[in-house]
Chains A and B, each alone.
Chain A
Amino acid sequence: MKKFILGLTLAQAAWALPAVAADYAIGAIFPMSGPNAEYGQVFGTGVDLAVEHINADKKLSGKLTVIYEDSQALPAQGVTAATKLVNVSKVPFALSAFTGVSKAVAAVGQRTKTVMANGGGVGPDLATLGEYFWNTIPLANFEVRVMAPFLVKDKGLKRVAMIYVDDPLGQSLLTELSTEVKAAGGEMVGTFSIPTTAQQFSGIAARVRDTKPDVVYVASYGNQQVQLVKQLRDNAITQPIASYSAFSTPSIASLPEAKGVYFSGQQLNLTRDDPLTKRVVADYKAKYNKEPGAYVVNYYNAVLTFAELAAALEKAGKPVTGENLLAQRKATKSFEFVGATVSFADDGTVKAPIQINEIVGDGTTRVVFAPK
Chain B
Amino acid sequence: MLFAQLFINGLQTGALYALIAAGFSLIFGMTRIFHAAHGATFTIAGYIFYECYSVLHINWIVAALAAAIAASLFGVLIDRVIYARIQKHEGSFFTVFVASFGMAIVVQNLIAMIFDRGAVTVSTPLSKSLEMLPGLYVAPIAAVVVLCALIFFMALQWLLTQTNLGIALRALGENPTLVEVYGLTPRLLSQYVFLIGSILVVPAAILTAATSGLNPAMGNHVMLISIAATIVGGVGSLRGAAMAGLILGMAENLCLAVIDPQWSEAVTFVILFLFILFRPGGVYGRAIVT
Please give the residue numbers on chain A whose beta carbons come within 8 Å of chain B beta carbons, in ascending order: 33-35, 37-38, 40-41, 163, 166, 192-195, 197-204, 206-207, 209-210, 222-223, 226-227, 230-231, 233-236, 249-251, 255-257
Q: Smallest CB–CB gap between A175 and chain B, Å?
A: 16
Complex contacts, B180 vs chain A, CB 8 Å: none
Given known contacts A192-B261, A195-B265, A235-B129, A35 and B215 CB-to-CB distance under 8 angstroms: yes
A206-B121 in contact (CB<8A): no
Asked whether any CB of chain A lies closer than 8 Å to the CB of B137, the reply is yes
Q: Smallest CB–CB gap between A359 and chain B, Å?
A: 14
Q: Smallest CB–CB gap between B113 and chain A, Å?
A: 10
B217-A35 in contact (CB<8A): yes
Complex contacts, B218 vs chain A, CB 8 Å: 35, 199, 223
Q: How far does the alpha carbon of A207 sit from the alpha carbon of B257 in the complex, in Å?
A: 8
**What are 21 A-B residue pairs whose CB atoms fall within 8 Å in the complex?**
A33-B108, A35-B119, A37-B216, A38-B117, A38-B118, A163-B261, A195-B262, A202-B211, A203-B264, A207-B2, A209-B135, A223-B215, A223-B217, A227-B119, A230-B213, A231-B211, A233-B128, A234-B128, A234-B129, A236-B129, A251-B116
- Give the most central of B12, B127, B139, B262: most A CB within 10 Å: B262
Given known contacts A33-B112, A37-B217, A197-B221, A255 and B264 CB-to-CB distance under 8 angstroms: no
Asked whether any CB of chain A lies closer than 8 Å to the CB of B198, the reply is no
Partner of B139, one of A194, A207, A222, A234: A234
Given known contacts A203-B253, A251-B118, A194 and B13 CB-to-CB distance under 8 angstroms: no
Looking across the interface, which residue of chain A has its beta carbon closest to that of B265?
A: A195
Inter-chain pairs besides A193-B262, A256-B123, 5 sampled, C-beta below 8 Å: A163-B261, A222-B119, A223-B215, A226-B118, A230-B213
Looking across the interface, which residue of chain B has its beta carbon closest to that of A37?
A: B117
Looking across the interface, which residue of chain B has its beta carbon closest to that of A253?
A: B118
Q: How far does the alpha carbon of A197 sit from the alpha carbon of B119 in the complex, in Å?
A: 14
Asked whether any CB of chain A lies closer than 8 Å to the CB of B90, the reply is no
Complex contacts, A235 vs chain B, CB 8 Å: 129, 137, 139
Complex contacts, A40 vs chain B, CB 8 Å: 117
Within 8 A of A (CB), among B1-29: 2, 5-6, 9-10, 12-13
Complex contacts, B260 vs chain A, CB 8 Å: 192-193
Partner of B212, one of A37, A200, A249: A200
Q: Smallest CB–CB gap between A51 and chain B, Å?
A: 21
Q: How far does the alpha carbon of A193 sit from the alpha carbon of B263 in the complex, in Å?
A: 9
Asked whether any CB of chain A lies closer than 8 Å to the CB of B199, the reply is no
- Give the most central of B112, B135, B212: most A CB within 10 Å: B212
B262-A194 in contact (CB<8A): yes
Within 8 A of A (CB), among B72-127: 108-109, 112, 116-121, 123, 127
Given known contacts A200-B13, A236-B131, A206 and B215 CB-to-CB distance under 8 angstroms: no
